[in-house]
A and B are shown apart, each in its own frame.
Chain A
Amino acid sequence: MPPTKRPIVTAATANGIKRRRAAGENVVRVGSGTGVGVGGAVRPAPVPSSSSFAAASASTTTATNQQLNDEFIRLLSNPQHKNKGIANSSLKSHFGSQYPALVPIINELTRTSRLTMSKLTSSKTGESEVYFSLLSVEEASKLRGLDASSKMVYQVIEAAGNKGIWTVDVRVQTNIQQATLTKIFKQLETRRLIKPIKAVTAKTKKLYMLYDLSPSKEITGGPWYSDYEFDHEFIAELRNFILMCIRRMNGGYGVGNGVTLKQIANKMIQANVSRIQLSLDEVSQVLQTLVLDYLVEQRGVTEGGGEALFVAAKPVTTMCDFEWWDVLSPDFHFRGIRFEDGVYLSAHEPHHHS
Chain B
Amino acid sequence: MAAAAANNNAFGGFLHTSPLSNLTSSTSHPPDPKAALASNCIRDYFGPLVQTVADALHSRGPSTMSDLIATIRHRCLRDWNEERGRLVDRLNASVVVGANNNKFNKGIIATTSSSNNNNESYYHGGKVTMNKARGAESAGYVTESSHIRAALIVLLHHSLVKVSGGTSGGGGSVGAGDGKHKHPSSSSRHAAKPQHHHYTYTFLHERARLLLRYPRYVEHARDVMNDTAAQIVECLLISGRMRGEDVVQSAWECQKRKMHNILDGEEDVDDYDNKVLTEVVQSFERLVEAGYVEMVRPIVTNKDLEHKGRMQNEENEDDMFGNEFEFSLNEDGSIFNDRSKATRKRSALSSDQGVNTKKQKIDGNALDDHHPQILSLLSTKRNLIPHGSVYRVSTAMFHASLRVDVLSRLVSEIYPDERHVGAIVKAALTYAARQEHGPMRGVDESEEARHSRMAEWGIFSPPDIVPFLPLDVTKSLRSQVGGLNQNLSTLLVQMSKLQYPTSILLEIEEAQGHPMGGKFEVCTRQLLQRMLDRIQHRFLTTHRGLVAARIVSVLQMKGHCESDAIAEDAMVPTKEAREVLHRLHRDSYIDLADMHVTKTHNTGTAIFLWDVIPSRLFKTVINNTCTALLNLRLRRQHEVEVGRDWMNRAKDAGSAEENVHEGDKKKYHAFCKGLERLDCACLQLDETLMVLKDF
A residues with CB within 8 A of B: 200-201, 224, 230, 235, 253-255, 285-286, 288-289, 292-294, 297-300, 313-325, 327-334, 337, 339, 343-345, 348, 350-354
Given A201-B574, A353-B7, A294:B534 Cβ within 8 A: yes
Among A300, A322, A332, point to the contact of B635 (Cβ < 8 A). Answer: A332
Contact (Cβ within 8 A) B546 A293: yes
18 A-B pairs with C-beta separation under 8 A: A235-B571, A289-B550, A293-B537, A293-B550, A297-B500, A300-B499, A316-B534, A320-B684, A322-B542, A322-B628, A322-B685, A325-B543, A327-B632, A327-B681, A334-B10, A337-B677, A345-B671, A352-B10
CA distance A350 to B413 in the complex (A): 47
CA distance A299 to B631 in the complex (A): 42
With both beta carbons as reference points, the residue of chain A lying nearest to B543 in the complex is identified as A325
With both beta carbons as reference points, the residue of chain B lying nearest to A224 in the complex is identified as B571
Contact (Cβ within 8 A) B416 A254: yes
With both beta carbons as reference points, the residue of chain A lying nearest to B687 in the complex is identified as A319
1/0 contact string of B618-657 vs chain A (CB within 8 Å): 0000001001100110110011001000000000000000
CA distance A329 to B543 in the complex (A): 11
Contact (Cβ within 8 A) B28 A328: yes
Known contacts A297-B501, A331-B28; 10 additional CB pairs below 8 A are: A255-B417, A317-B410, A318-B534, A320-B538, A322-B688, A324-B681, A327-B631, A339-B677, A343-B674, A352-B10
Contact (Cβ within 8 A) A327 B571: no
Nearest CB on A from B331, distance (A): 35
Given A333-B10, A344-B674, A352-B10, A321:B415 Cβ within 8 A: no
With both beta carbons as reference points, the residue of chain B lying nearest to A285 in the complex is identified as B571
CA distance A6 to B687 in the complex (A): 81
- CB neighbours of B508 from chain A (8 A): none
Question: Which of A293, A332, A345, A351 has most B Cβ within 10 Å?
Answer: A345
- CB neighbours of B573 from chain A (8 A): 200, 230
Contact (Cβ within 8 A) B500 A298: yes
Among B406, B554, B634, B691, point to the contact of A292 (Cβ < 8 A). Answer: B554
With both beta carbons as reference points, the residue of chain B lying nearest to A353 in the complex is identified as B7
Q: How many residues of B contact A (CB 8 A)?
A: 67
Given A292-B554, A325-B542, A352-B10, A345:B674 Cβ within 8 A: yes
Contact (Cβ within 8 A) B414 A254: yes
Within 534-560 of B, Cβ neighbours of A (below 8 Å) are at: 534-535, 537-539, 542-543, 546, 549-550, 553-554, 557
With both beta carbons as reference points, the residue of chain A lying nearest to B630 in the complex is identified as A327
CA distance A309 to B657 in the complex (A): 71
Given A224-B571, A285-B571, A332-B631, A348:B638 Cβ within 8 A: yes
Given A333-B638, A350-B10, A351-B12, A314:B414 Cβ within 8 A: yes
Let me know if B474 is at the binding interface, CB within 8 A: no
Contact (Cβ within 8 A) B28 A289: no
Contact (Cβ within 8 A) B569 A318: no
Let me know if B673 is at the binding interface, CB within 8 A: yes
Contact (Cβ within 8 A) B684 A321: yes
Let me know if B80 is at the binding interface, CB within 8 A: no
- CB neighbours of A314 from chain B (8 A): 413-414, 416
Nearest CB on B from A246, distance (A): 14
- CB neighbours of A331 from chain B (8 A): 28
- CB neighbours of B631 from chain A (8 A): 327-328, 332-333
- CB neighbours of A286 from chain B (8 A): 571
- CB neighbours of B323 from chain A (8 A): none
CA distance A200 to B688 in the complex (A): 41
Contact (Cβ within 8 A) B531 A319: yes
**5 interchain residue pairs of minimum CB distance:** A351-B12, A350-B10, A345-B674, A230-B573, A292-B553
With both beta carbons as reference points, the residue of chain B lying nearest to A337 in the complex is identified as B674
Within 486-538 of B, Cβ neighbours of A (below 8 Å) are at: 499-501, 531, 534-535, 537-538
Let me know if B224 is at the binding interface, CB within 8 A: no
- CB neighbours of A324 from chain B (8 A): 681
Let me know if B96 is at the binding interface, CB within 8 A: no
CA distance A254 to B535 in the complex (A): 19
- CB neighbours of A297 from chain B (8 A): 500-501
- CB neighbours of A334 from chain B (8 A): 10
Let me know if B26 is at the binding interface, CB within 8 A: yes
1/0 contact string of B40-59 vs chain A (CB within 8 Å): 00000000000000000000
- CB neighbours of B685 from chain A (8 A): 322
- CB neighbours of A235 from chain B (8 A): 571
Given A292-B570, A314-B413, A325:B500 Cβ within 8 A: no
Let me know if B350 is at the binding interface, CB within 8 A: no
- CB neighbours of A321 from chain B (8 A): 684, 687-688
- CB neighbours of A327 from chain B (8 A): 627-628, 631-632, 635, 681
Question: Which of B13, B406, B570 has most A Cβ within 10 Å?
Answer: B570
Contact (Cβ within 8 A) A254 B415: yes
Contact (Cβ within 8 A) A330 B10: no
- CB neighbours of B26 from chain A (8 A): 333, 350
CA distance A324 to B542 in the complex (A): 8
- CB neighbours of A332 from chain B (8 A): 28, 631, 635
Let me know if B11 is at the binding interface, CB within 8 A: yes
Among A299, A345, A351, point to the contact of B639 (Cβ < 8 A). Answer: A345
Contact (Cβ within 8 A) B413 A292: no
- CB neighbours of A348 from chain B (8 A): 11, 638, 642
- CB neighbours of A313 from chain B (8 A): 501
Within 55-87 of B, Cβ neighbours of A (below 8 Å) are at: none
With both beta carbons as reference points, the residue of chain B lying nearest to A352 in the complex is identified as B10
Nearest CB on B from A350, distance (A): 4
Nearest CB on A from B579, distance (A): 13
CA distance A224 to B639 in the complex (A): 50
Let me know if B110 is at the binding interface, CB within 8 A: no
Contact (Cβ within 8 A) B691 A319: yes
Contact (Cβ within 8 A) B542 A353: no
Let me know if B572 is at the binding interface, CB within 8 A: yes
Nearest CB on A from B569, distance (A): 7
Let me know if B565 is at the binding interface, CB within 8 A: no
Contact (Cβ within 8 A) A343 B501: no
1/0 contact string of B263-285 vs chain A (CB within 8 Å): 00000000000000000000000
Given A297-B501, A324-B681, A351-B12, A330:B635 Cβ within 8 A: no
Contact (Cβ within 8 A) A294 B537: yes
Among B501, B635, B674, point to the contact of A298 (Cβ < 8 A). Answer: B501
Contact (Cβ within 8 A) A328 B539: no
CA distance A337 to B678 in the complex (A): 10
Let me know if B256 is at the binding interface, CB within 8 A: no
CA distance A354 to B9 in the complex (A): 10
CA distance A255 to B414 in the complex (A): 9
Let me know if B373 is at the binding interface, CB within 8 A: no
Among B13, B534, B570, point to the contact of A289 (Cβ < 8 A). Answer: B570
Let me know if B379 is at the binding interface, CB within 8 A: no
1/0 contact string of B394-430 vs chain A (CB within 8 Å): 0000000000001001100111110000000000000
Question: Which of A327, A332, A353 has most B Cβ within 10 Å?
Answer: A327
- CB neighbours of B181 from chain A (8 A): none
Let me know if B607 is at the binding interface, CB within 8 A: no
CA distance A345 to B632 in the complex (A): 12
Contact (Cβ within 8 A) A328 B624: yes
Nearest CB on A from B615, distance (A): 19
CA distance A323 to B417 in the complex (A): 30
Let me know if B29 is at the binding interface, CB within 8 A: yes
- CB neighbours of B624 from chain A (8 A): 325, 328
CA distance A348 to B643 in the complex (A): 12
Nearest CB on B from A328, distance (A): 6
Nearest CB on A from B80, distance (A): 23
Nearest CB on A from B566, distance (A): 11
With both beta carbons as reference points, the residue of chain B lying nearest to A334 in the complex is identified as B10
- CB neighbours of B413 from chain A (8 A): 254, 314-317
With both beta carbons as reference points, the residue of chain B lying nearest to A258 in the complex is identified as B500
Nearest CB on A from B266, distance (A): 41
Contact (Cβ within 8 A) B550 A319: no
- CB neighbours of A289 from chain B (8 A): 550, 570-571
CA distance A117 to B137 in the complex (A): 93
Nearest CB on B from A217, distance (A): 10
